[in-house]
Structure 1
Amino acid sequence: MRLALAAVLFAFSAALSGAAAAEVEFPRGSIIGLVPPEGMSEGRTFSGFEDRDKNAALLLVDMPAEAFPQLEASFTDAALAEKGIKVETRVNFPVTGAKGILVTGTQAAGAVTLRKWVLLAGNDMLTALVTFQVPESAAVAYPDATVRAALSTLAFRSAREQVEALPYTLNDLAGFRVVRTLGGSTVILTDGPKNVVDGAEQPYFVVTVAGGAPREDERGRFAVRTLAGTPGVKDIQVERAEPLRLANHMGYEVMAKGVDMRTGAPVKVVQWMRFGTTGYMRMVGVTPLDSFPELYPRLRAIRDGVEPR
């Protein structure tokens, strides 16, 4: 028994040393990354890594920090069993700068049984859910020690690194600071003591880019519809909607009032959209209603400092 345990520990130590020697890889647009096991390359259709020959996949999902306690509460054996995962082991797992919980087990996928490792990790800025799966028929290529060694290298991009990975630059934060980025295309800024943007208790500014630019004659309606979906704001009443040029591009400005869904407090919303031939950029600022006159020049400064890379 002691020899068997020593062999397992040695295998994990050797795998960990090999992983530590390599550099952490961040998939395109991801703010979490790790050193993938040998034989895996970046996923073509998802955020993570894959070994197509063996049908093995390592999926990376990042979420806000506040998601961790919610996921932890539902990370029980019974809840996982409802998803078809039969838990074999559960341990607190070491992740640099974060709390980690690792579950291992199996999951039936039709006629195939998958070996599965699910790591839930989080700190005060981010939550990560990492899943490694491989068919049992190919599991010999990815032993437990190898997978654990890869998971132990999980890393979170710093705020600076997150911004550097965006497809645009922020040349003037106007006193705001970066809270986090999403999907490699969106950045959230705020000005206030809290790092979690929850409604308009403190002002926030969001920049995002997306594909699928509307036709020129549809831009106004598109801008108004998009504003209506601003998270955390209800009862939006448009006050002004008009075209304008932004950095030599055709754009659209929408000004509106609304209500904070969480507190019921009145808020002011301003949205600028910059249109390209194949996509668009959306910039939206949300502030308490009485603070808007003071904050508006700062929001415009942020807007004018956003430039495509």
Structure 2
Amino acid sequence: MRRLLTAAVLAVALTAAAIASPARAADVTFPRGSAIGLVPPPGMSESQAFTGFEDLGHTAALVIAEMPAEAFDPIEAGFTSSALASKGIELEKREPFELKGGKGVLFTARQTVGSATFRKWVLLAGNDAMTALVTMQVPEGEIAAYPDAVVRAALATLTFRSVQNQVDALPFVMGNLAGFRPIRAIAGNTLLLTDGPKDVVDGAEQPIFVVSIGSGAPREDDRRQFAIRALSTLPGVKEMRLERAEPLRISGQPGFEVMATAADAKTGQPVKIVQWLRFGPTAYVRMVGVTKLDAFPDLYDRLRALRDGLESR
């Protein structure tokens, strides 16, 4: 269901890189939907345009990118002087960076874009659950507002939300876990659950159930195509064959069920997929279960229990 592609992760990391006194833990701010927070430098406030903080008056930005835990090593290995130089970034220093509850590497650099030169700090941080890439960028002419010591003090407050805290911040509640357990929340609107010992699931080795909230609601006559298009975007599978697609009621609301078989993209192992969409007036809930093909009959009732136990906060 979720597979790390080293090249893709490095591309995301490089893209993120292109763009006061120590504070109490209680002052940590988590941008909306983010599992990663920190105490922003004085003068910065939460951005409405991206995940992070900004100071429009000084054209300064602090961007937070969240990735899987296994992204840490390939990003660290890929952050070489030559790789960054290909993005127009001159690496000045690379050093270990101490963090509470995680590991960190800090990269300091400069980047010239046209006639403007920017001072950059890129913190790569990680723990067992996730990886964070935090990029602070300030024009050279505004560096007096954000000296190195102030930026480092802010980065040192980086905090990872626990899985339970991530779950508690979601706009929905899973009233019946049916023996599954949450392993990760993403972007404040998506929850991953599994049944098995691993928190990082490769392919269909363990059943996966994903719940997400989407904005907008298709017309009744477009729901079938909407559901099929949504299923076609599912990563990590190939050779998908549609078995059925039909409307149904879910918790008293209009919904749509799609079932399909496929093969795990990495191993070729046969898998079964069920997707449920529950439509509201201005938004919809998407629920997707992926299991080994031969395990699906024993898991189907539990997947339906997860579906029916979902409630809005």
- TM-score relative to the length of structure 1: 0.93
Output the CA distance in 2 between the equivalents of 1:22 and 1:156: 13
Given that 1:22 and 1:35 are in contact with CA atoms closer than 8 Å, whether structure 2 keeps it comes out as: no
Are 1:298 and 2:307 matched, yes or no? no
Answer yes or no: is 1:249 the counterpart of 2:249: no
* Per-residue deviation, residues 202-241 of structure 1 (Å, max 9, x unmatched): 1000000111221110101111121122111111111111
Question: Structure 1 counterpart of 2:200, which letter?
Answer: V
| Distance in 1 separating the partners of 2:290 and 2:80 | 37
Name the SS of the counterpart of 1:293 in structure 2: helix
Amino acid corresponding to residue 185 of structure 1 in structure 2: N
SS across alignment from 1:66: helix
Corresponding residue number in structure 2 for 1:280: 284
CA contact under 8 A between 1:249 and 1:276: conserved in structure 2?
yes
Instruction: Determine which structure has more spread, i.e. the larger CA radius of gyration.
Output: 1
Unaligned 5+ runs, structure 2 = 1-19
Alignment length, in residue pairs? 294
Matches for 1:102-117 after TM superposition, within 5 Å: 102-117=106-121
Rounded Cα–Cα distance in structure 2 between residues aligned with 1:304 and 1:206:
14
- Tell me what 2:160 maps to: 156
Relative contact order higher in (CA < 8 Å, ≥ 6 apart) = 2
Bigger shift: 82-91 or 137-146? Answer: 82-91
CA distance in 2, matches of 1:194, 1:110: 47
Pick from 114, 127, 132: which aligns with 1:128?
132
Question: Which aligned segments of 4 or more residues in structure 1 are displaced greater than 2 angstroms?
Answer: 19-22
Aligned to 1:260: 264
Q: Secondary structure at the match of 1:210?
A: strand
Equivalent in the alignment of 1:48:
52
TM-superposed deviation, 1:22:
5.5
TM-score, normalised relative to structure 2: 0.91
2:24 match: secondary structure: helix
Once the two structures are superposed, the pairs formed by residues 93-242 of structure 1 within 5 Å of their partners are 93-242=97-246
Q: Matches of 1:202 and 1:44 in 2, distance apart?
A: 37
Distance (whole Å) between structure 1 residues aligned to residue 37 and residue 191 of structure 2: 18
What is the CA–CA distance in structure 2 between the aligned matches of 1:86 and 1:59, rounded to whole Å?
A: 19
- My pick for the range that moved more, 219-228 or 283-292, is 219-228
Corresponding letter in the other structure for 2:311 = E
Q: What is the DSSP-based 3-state SS (H/G/I as helix, E as strand, rest coil) of the residue aligned with 2:27?
A: coil
CA RMSD, 1 decimal: 1.1
Q: Which runs of 5+ in 1 are unaligned?
A: 1-14
CA distance in 2, matches of 1:124, 1:253: 35
What is the rounded CA distance, in whole Å, between the counterparts of 2:242 and 2:282 in structure 1? 27
Amino acid of the structure 2 residue aligned with 1:121:
A
- Contact 1:283 1:303 (C-alpha < 8 Å) held by counterparts: yes
Q: How many percent of aligned residue pairs carry the same amino acid?
A: 62
